[in-house]
Copies of this chain bind each other. A is one copy, B any other.
Amino acid sequence: MRISIAQLNFIVGDFDGNLVKMLDAVKVAKSERADIICFSELSTCAYPPRDFLEFENFIKKAEKTVDKLAKAAQGIAIIVGSPTVNPVIEGKDLYNSAIFLADGKRFHTQHKALLPTYDIFDEYRYFEPATDFQVVEYKGKRIALSICEDIWNIGNENPLYTVCPLDLMVSQGVDLVFNLSASPFTFKHAEDRYHILKTNADRYKVPIFYVNHVGAQTELIFDGGSIVISGNGNIHEELPYFEEAIRTYELDDINAETQNIEQPKVKMQLIYDALVTGVRDYFQKLGFKKAILGLSGGLDSALTAVIAAKALGSENVRVLLMPSQYSSDHSIKDAEDLAKNLGIQYDIVPIKSVYNQYSETLGTLFLDTKADVTEENIQARIRGMLLMAMSNKFGNILLNTSNKSELAVGYGTLYGDLCGGISVIGDIYKTEVFELSRFINKDDEIIPWNTITKPPSAELRPDQKDSDSLPEYDILDAILFQYIENQKGPKEIVSMGYDKKLVKRILRLVNINEFKRHQTAPVLRVSTKAFGMGRRMPIVGKYLT
């Protein structure tokens, strides 16, 4: 038996486009004499469709897409993921299903049982869990269909769930397993995925075809990396990360695999490629080409510019340098050097005269007040506004350049440097910003080294340094990580050896700045806990403050 798998980059709700991609892949599979081709989870509508699933019209379009695909299932079987209607009145209206199409029709359907409802996942909002598990027989082989999370409760060892779908299916006698996935990237995910597949293969002693989604859907990035693993636990092939791919295999070859062939997993390479994919797909899928951002001479905007140039091409990235009276000479030079290194268009637009005009306009109202954060915010907001004016006039989407440490403690100006359509590095702590920048510079000086080595500063008042108001970034980030990723409370963090007052202060800053994060752009997600849809904290509340 010959089997094809296709990891494709779908667009949410683009039923026609997604169908065309799948039909093209079916052609390739047929030309390679495949008996079966398998796509990823919810491949008709793309993942995650979110509340579009609540529209009857949307579900009908998904059903029609499956029907059209069924017509192409002649001489080849097609396994497609799609939402289907729950015929029983009680329970949720839909199932998240894997549909086995053969001889021009729906041959077998298996629904998903384990519905992730945590972090960025809301599956129980829409779907009823499967309670019935049946194996499909095709061309003499007994085949189990599973969907994503279904293979993540091996032998009921995942505390979240009470059912182990593969235990129930493999006990019926199974020759091979398909898993249709849409498993979002984190920098640890390829490692975890490998471990899960290996454990499944070891337990069931049958080959598994794990087919993942690839490409970005707003903040969620899917890395592909589909895996074909033999029943003896050896990886036969791990597909490329962050690219579409179609592969065809002879089942016997997989069963006979004696080597374990994995892809290298380098954290900074994975994060870099993920962010490039995130920016590229955000623009491509929205139909935009050109980006704009402000280059301050600091590292965050430099790194964002590098990622943007890689994702969109240097010719499509434009930057403004917007010095104020507090900008240091090296800032302008560093920013210019970077722009030249990247070959991107840059303009210098000093903000002093607009700033002065604001001061004059507000003069009477601000009589007898002292300069404070207001004046710093005005500078940041003038820059945000100039960038948005360029965006409106020329159609360049503004990229947000805030890092995760800043977003966490609210070290940024709402409607100022927090502006932008997408946050490129908002899930990267400042210490990781340094790490990633050094990684990018490993062969050539793309980012001016001075930008990397000088002390970080917002340059909103004379001789300002980040370290004036924040602790050193290695300490700050470690505390933030315990609070955000590990969800530890103040006592637990202090018991790890951090200063009590500092911990209280930082956690308080995180909490009271929830209102800012609520109004910022979607953040490209590369960690296990990013700001945005996966972290839902109250804005008004008293805990830990």
Question: Does any Cβ of B come within 8 Å of A250's Cβ?
Answer: no
15 cross-chain CB contacts under 8 A: A11-B541, A13-B538, A46-B541, A49-B541, A55-B543, A57-B489, A217-B540, A218-B539, A369-B393, A374-B393, A378-B385, A381-B388, A385-B385, A385-B415, A421-B515
Contact A347 B360 (CB under 8 A): no
Interface residues of A (CB under 8 A from B): 11-14, 17, 46, 48-52, 54-58, 61, 89-92, 117-118, 122, 124-125, 156, 159-162, 217-218, 281-282, 285-286, 347, 349-351, 353-354, 356-358, 360-362, 364-366, 369, 372-374, 377-378, 381-382, 384-386, 388-390, 392-393, 414-415, 419, 421, 487-492, 515, 518-522, 533, 535-544
A118 and chain B: residue at smallest CB distance: B125
Decide yes or no: A384 and B415 within 8 Å by CB, A389-B362, A538-B48 being known contacts. yes
> Which residues of chain B are within 8 angstroms of A360 by Cβ–Cβ distance?
353
Partner of A540, one of B286, B356, B377: B286
Top 9 A-B residue pairs of the complex, sorted by shortest distance between their CB atoms? A57-B489, A13-B543, A14-B542, A12-B541, A374-B392, A357-B357, A13-B541, A415-B415, A374-B393
- In the complex, how many angstroms separate the beta carbon of A429 from the nearest chain B beta carbon? 19
A241 to B189, CA, bound (A): 49
Contacts of A124 in B (CB 8 A): 117, 124-125
**Pick the contact of A489 from B58, B92, B286 — CB < 8 Å?**
B58
Q: Shortest Cβ distance from A517 into chain B, in angstroms?
A: 11
CA gap between A421 and B162 in the complex, in Å: 43
Residues of B within 8 A of A11 (CB): 540-542
| Residue of B whose beta carbon sits closest to that of A282 | B540
Are the C-beta atoms of A57 and B385 separated by less than 8 Å? no
**Chain B residue with Cβ nearest A519:** B519
Q: Which of A218, A356, A381, A492 has the most CB of B within 10 A?
A: A381
Q: State in angstroms the CA–CA spacing of A334 and B288 once bound together.
A: 42
Known: A117-B117, A385-B381, A522-B518. A12 touches B392 (CB 8 A): no
Structural contact, B381 and A366, CB atoms closer than 8 A: no
What is the minimal beta-carbon distance from A219 to any residue of chain B, in angstroms?
A: 8
Query: Which residue of the partner chain, among B54, B61, B521, B540, contacts A519 with CB atoms under 8 Å?
Result: B521
CB–CB A361/B386 < 8 A: yes
Q: Could you tell me if A389 and B415 are in contact, using CB atoms closer than 8 angstroms?
A: no
Instruction: For A356, list chain B residues within 8 Å (CB).
Output: 357
- For the complex, what is the distance from the CA of A195 to the CA of B242, rounded to whole Å? 53
Name the residue on B nearest A17 (C-beta): B542
Contact A390 to B414, CB < 8 A, known contacts A50-B537, A54-B487, A490-B57: no
Indicate which residue in B122, B490, B536 contacts A51 across the interface (CB closer than 8 Å).
Answer: B536
Which residues of chain B come closer than 8 Å to A390, judged between CB atoms? Answer: 362, 365
Q: How far is the CB of A410 from chain B (nearest CB, A)?
A: 13
The answer to whether B492 and A57 have CB atoms under 8 Å apart is yes
Nearest-neighbor residue (CB-CB) of A159 within chain B:
B89
Closest B residue, CB atoms, query A378: B389
Are A161 and B90 neighbours in the complex by a CB distance under 8 Å?
A: yes
Cα of A57 to Cα of B512 in the assembled complex, Å: 18
For residue A481, give the distance in angstroms from its CB to the closest CB of chain B.
15
Interchain CB contact under 8 A, A217 and B487 = no
Q: Is A12 a contact partner of B487 (Cβ separation < 8 A)?
A: no
Report chain B residues within 8 Å CB of A156. 90
Q: Find out whether the CB atom of B388 lies under 8 angstroms from the CB atom of A361.
A: no
A364 and B393 CA atoms in complex are apart in Å by 13
Contact, CB under 8 Å: A385 / B369: no
With contacts A57-B491, A361-B386 taken as known, whether A538 is within 8 angstroms of B392 at the C-beta atoms is no
Contacts of A414 in B (CB 8 A): 388
The minimal Cβ–Cβ distance linking A361 to chain B, given in whole angstroms, is 5
Chain B CB within 10 A, most for which of A281, A361, A364: A361
Are A160 and B385 touching (Cβ within 8 A)?
Answer: no
19 more A-B residue pairs beyond the given contacts A57-B491, A217-B540, with a C-beta to C-beta distance below 8 A: A12-B541, A14-B543, A52-B541, A52-B543, A55-B487, A58-B489, A58-B543, A91-B161, A122-B536, A124-B124, A354-B357, A354-B361, A356-B357, A357-B357, A362-B389, A374-B393, A381-B388, A381-B415, A518-B521
A389 CB, min distance to chain B CBs, angstroms = 6
On whether A162 and B90 interact (CB within 8 A), knowing A58-B543, A415-B419, A538-B48, the answer reads yes
